[in-house]
Amino acid sequence: MFAYVHSGIVLSLSNESYPFNDRFDAGWYGFLIVPEDIPNKYEFAKAVIKKYNQYLSGEIYGYDIGETNCWGFYDKNEMIEEVKCNIDYFLGKKEKRNS
């Protein structure tokens, strides 16, 4: 695993010997150990690195609606779907009170 550290951190899992263009702010970072029972180890490792890069760059989403808030979504679309469900729930709850 390699890291580029310059105004932030980006990790790379690469089959190449050196995945970045900048040799001054990047270099070997460490290992990613994948459990033996995980199928498609390389794809799993790429997904882990992608999610960790999102975390390192602050690309994490959340919402605060009325009585409910939730943070820690790495997928904006997943968060939007949950927000829609909560809005529908709260609107339905409000309509029942008004009936």
Considering the chain, what percentage of its residues have pLDDT values greater than 70? 84
Per-domain residue ranges of the chain: 2-57, 61-98
Q: What is the pLDDT of residue 16?
A: 59
| Bridging pattern class, strands 9-12 and 2-5 | antiparallel
- CA-derived radius of gyration, the chain: 20
Q: What is the pLDDT of residue 43?
A: 93
Question: What's the rounded mean pLDDT across residues 35-42?
Answer: 93
pTM of the model: 0.65
In eight-state DSSP terms, residue 66 is T
Q: Say yes or no to pLDDT of 91 above 70.
A: yes
